Structure 1
């Protein structure tokens, strides 16, 4: 039986430079694509396989949701999944087909492969940006507070995930004076396979160049504000004690808190 979620809405600021919405218009969708969709917390942690684009205007697709709950997890990982937390890396089964006419329920395309058993594989790939659960623990269960769960850190993936080596990442931090511009920290971290559930969701990103605007900080990453937690959707102000060499010099005309807000609404059947 299909479960229908109420229409949800969230207000997010515009990105400082790049327009992420242009990557998720009607013409962006095609057959055999996997798209991430916003969940009931407003983060892109659901996946849908697009079988067919029925029409662009009005927007209508034939999709199958991907289910990650039935693929052999035991012990603490099974408890974590059974408690309602979303799995966003690993193997997923393809559910029955259904129609979807909600363009704004989708965030971004996802890289994927399919194995001989017909399971869809989704893992962190080199160049991806992911949000990690800052306080993640295998002991999380249904009693874990939403406040503890919804604290994140942003990372860039440095190499494709492998069963043996796990996944290596570099932390990202906001550049003072901007909302959605991030820079890499000069340190790496490697997470083994059994910590994949630490990875909450992929965040669409764009590598900035001077083509993105006169004052665009070239070589830095811009992240999609629609996939960022609320605590990061504020202009970062440089603190007096910060080292000058540790931050990028900020141009005068930076984003402000009174910039235009964008409404995102979606209705999802899953």
Structure 2
């Protein structure tokens, strides 16, 4: 680990050991702990460490459609200002698929699941670029990573999937949000829909619940039920995983299982327009 200091700025860098907690993502938790007179609980922040795999945002689509492995982390702090974390990330590239998997005709289309290898191509990111830490299966030689939908995961899927989609149209694609129920052979999933809560504090968060019905434009092969199956041959229908945590909330007097999700990772067509709080002004 290297430490340099110049003009009041202190820089820490690590390419092999050590980890860093993102202060920008944990500061609200830390302040809450201080106000309550308790010790700061920084474990709820995002912990960055070399060798980790993360999904990240890139391009005009503004969705976390890509994966990378952290190679080096640099933390810079000027006096008492909040520390800035920068990461050198090697991009992952999807390997060839088995013959039974229908592949994209446009090879520029992003791939959300499959087997990936680390490339020599790298980019520099801040904590604003990353979405979700991925814990993949690793090959015996450690050079390949298997990323697949797992039971309990929340994913965005292409609503009407076809292998003819083109990368230039990625920004206009429509999606559905699903929870993975079974990944034994094919993928059994449950459709989710936004849950609007009336509590003023909860309105600032984004929740999804089990859908009561499917969207009228859903894929005909899915059927009309909220639980349906995506065959392994169409695994590329899974676009990207949504950061989500399972919570229990009371809706209409009944306790319901909900998912609190990161709204930034939601495609435009499923983003929730919540009511404005008193005195709040909508941006734009």
Number of positions where the alignment pairs a residue of Structure 1 with one of Structure 2:
217
Higher strand share: 2
TM-score, length-normalised on structure 1? 0.66
Contact 2:106 2:164 in 1 (8 A): no
Give me the whole-angstrom Cα distance separating, in 2, the residues matched to 1:35 and 1:132.
Answer: 19
Give the aligned partner of residue 223 of structure 1. Answer: 261
In 1: Cα distance, 2:166 partner to 2:123 partner: 33
Alpha-carbon deviation of 1:101?
A: 4.1
Cα deviation for residue 103 of structure 1 reads: 1.8
Shift of 1:96: 1.6
2:154 matched to 1:153?
no
> What TM-score does the superposition give when structure 2 sets the normalisation length?
0.63
**What's the counterpart of residue 106 of structure 1?**
130
Q: 1:33 aligns with which of 41, 52, 64?
A: 52
Tell me the CA shift for residue 77 of structure 1. 4.2
**Structure (1 or 2) with the larger CA radius of gyration:** 2
Map 1:46-65 → 2, pairs under 5 A: 46-55=66-75, 57-65=83-91
Alpha-carbon distance change, 180 to 31 in structure 1, aligned in 2, over 3 angstroms: same
Contact 2:50 2:71 in 1 (8 A): yes
Contact 2:155 2:178 survives alignment (8 Å): yes
Q: What runs of 5+ residues in structure 2 fail to find an aligned partner?
A: 1-23, 27-41, 77-82, 198-202, 213-225
Q: CA offset at residue 223 of structure 1? A: 1.5
Q: Which has the higher contact order (CA 8 A, sep 6+)?
A: 1
Q: 1:61 to 1:25 in 2, by over 3 A?
A: farther
Is residue 227 of structure 2 the alignment partner of residue 203 of structure 1?
no
Indicate conservation of the 8 Å contact 2:207/2:260, yes or no: yes
Conserved? CA contact 2:139–2:145, under 8 Å: yes
Contact 2:97/2:114, CA 8 A, preserved across alignment: no
